[in-house]
Copies of this chain bind each other. A is one copy, B any other.
Amino acid sequence: MPLRSDWSTKSCPIARSLDTLGDAWTLVVLRELFVGNSRFDGLREELGIADNVLATRLRAIVDAGLAIKVPYGGTSRPRYEYRLSEVGRDALPVLHALARWGAKHSEAPAGVQPMVIACATCGGPSSSTDWCATCQAPLTVENTEWHRPGKPGRPIRLATAS
């Protein structure tokens, strides 16, 4: 179910991407899936999102092939979690580009640790959205870790979490 008028047949790949990724809620849901917050209740709690808004976004995310819906638990009422597909994992640079712009051009709340996007191979903070200049290798979900703002503790290895 598309969230806007159809841009999927545009000549420009930016516009075609926006047909799927041009929605703020969709992108913060994807952010949560990258860190392994993959179930409805956890997403609702972290995002403070209305049930119907979250349900619409999760349906759009699955329909677009960004994640798959997997049953979990063994109860009689089926419950699902959402796991990023390769298509969804390939959206990581979009989130990184937004994170870098936001860190540079907006003010974090006082006392909040900044978000750090690091290469898990060399341990260094990244100076690019998708390339580790130290390792001379692409920065992908496989070798990226996030120090999340406002969440002390060990960094999150996206490959393991998502």
Contact = CB atoms under 8 A, between A and B. Distances in A.
Contacts of A14: 27-28, 31, 95, 98-99, 102, 115
Interface string A17-29: 1111111100110
A99 to B, nearest CB: 5
Contact of A22 (B12, B27, B108, B112): B27
A47 B34 CA distance: 33
B90 A11 contact: no
Given A16-B102, A16-B108, A90-B105, 16 more contacts: A12-B31, A13-B98, A13-B108, A13-B115, A15-B31, A15-B102, A17-B105, A18-B24, A21-B101, A22-B23, A93-B101, A94-B94, A94-B97, A127-B138, A128-B129, A129-B129
25 contacts: A4-B24, A10-B109, A11-B109, A12-B102, A13-B100, A13-B101, A14-B31, A14-B95, A14-B99, A14-B102, A15-B24, A15-B28, A15-B102, A16-B102, A17-B102, A17-B105, A18-B24, A18-B28, A94-B98, A96-B97, A128-B128, A128-B129, A128-B131, A129-B130, A133-B136
